[in-house]
Amino acid sequence: MSITTTVVDGRIAVVTMDYPPVNALPVEGWFHVADAMREAPRDPNIRVVVLRAEGRGFNAGVDIKEMQRTTGFDALVGANRGCYAAFKAIYEAEVPVLAAVNGFCLGGGVGLVGNCDTIIASDDAYFGVPEVDRGALGAATHLARLVPQHLMRTLYYTSRTIPAADLVQHGSVLEVVPRHRLDDAAMAVAGEIADKDPRVLRAAKAALNGIDPVDVNKSYRFEQGFTFELNLAGVADEHRNEFVESGRPLAT
């Protein structure tokens, strides 16, 4: 289980998540993503970061089983802080961040890609935020960056998922390609970005973040407050226990 970073052509940093079986990240995994996303752009030669994953899917959110086998609130607080740190590090990366999404992208996975600058997806990719089914809240901030407001609310309340192909028409996913071509397609766009003047790229990233209509860091932190309320009321534990006891997979 790891987060690794490789550099391609001296200009493109590729951050890979690999937490079998479904890339449901434990607490430390979220902080490792944050560390990798902060570290990569510190190299002045890096002009773009590609975030990708090995395995069956891109990301299945937080590791609910870790949370339920941990006494007290340490895992809950850790997951909330870790997700916040990872999402923030992606958004505030000094260079553009491109997500290459394969298979499922759920919960915290939407938080990751929602803060990326560009999304390329495989033809089997789908996105969703099942937080309401888990008795928690969060990542609506990031889902709202992928789809229009009313669709976001419907997806959120129902815990439905949406295929990557549908997101192309909303402009949030740039293109959908066969699974075996995903890495090549992502690297092609990353290469196009990397051909630009790195001084201009970094200025452009800062400028675009500066004109964003929503402060994603504060917005997500606001959402997390309701997650803590549901946990203190015991509601979240009920739903997480039901999920763990059901034996259902985190993702399919």
For 110-160, the pLDDT digits (tens) are 999 999 999 999 999 999 999 999 888 999 999 999 999 999 999 999 999
165 pLDDT higher than 70: yes
Q: Are 37 and 91 in contact (CB under 8 A)?
A: no
| 6: amino acid identity, one letter | T
pTM for this structure?
0.94
Task: State residue 252's pLDDT score.
Answer: 56
Q: Quote the pLDDT of residue 242.
A: 83
Q: In what order do the strands lie in the sheet with 97-101?
A: 2-8, 12-18, 48-53, 97-101, 118-122, 175-177
**Are 82 and 27 within 8 A, CB to CB?**
yes
227 vs 172 pLDDT, higher one:
172
d(CA 126, CA 123): 9
Q: Do the beta carbons of residue 168 and residue 176 sit within 8 Å?
A: yes
Burial 104-127 (b: 16+ CB within 10 A, else e): bbbbbbbbbbbbbbbbbbbebbbb
**Which is higher by pLDDT, 216 or 68?**
216
Rounded Cα–Cα distance for residues 165 and 173 (Å): 8
| pLDDT mean over 162-174 | 98
Residue 23: its pLDDT value, please?
97
pLDDT the model gives residue 84: 98
Q: Hey, what domains does the chain have and what are their CATH numbers?
A: 2-179+198-246 (3.90.226.10)
What is the β-pairing status of strands 126-128 and 104-106? parallel
Please tell me the predicted confidence (pLDDT) of residue 250.
63
Q: What is the mean pLDDT of the chain?
A: 95
Structure confidence by residue, pLDDT tens digits, 46-92: 999 999 999 999 999 998 888 888 888 888 899 999 999 999 999 99
